[in-house]
Structure 1
């Protein structure tokens, strides 16, 4: 088992998913290579400015 250099935990992913995370954590999470593409897309959408 190894740790990702972005230091993002499973608990962090859940926190982002329920929209209780800061922008910095979301940006780090989308850089995690093991993150599922669907979650990456969802998280990237959270970073987009509201229209």
Structure 2
């Protein structure tokens, strides 16, 4: 995997983290949205680990 692809994955991972934090700060966080975002983040982390 090249550095550009890895950097792209890292940026997506950071973006998902920001969305999770943002959702958690809402008065009534959407638990299903948070779970979905966390699953996406985990998939990206696994893909980065294989790099």
TM-score range normalised by the length of the shorter chain: 0.3 to 0.5
The structure whose residues are more often helix, as a share, is 2
Q: TM-score of the superposition, structure 2-length normalised?
A: 0.36
Larger radius of gyration: 2
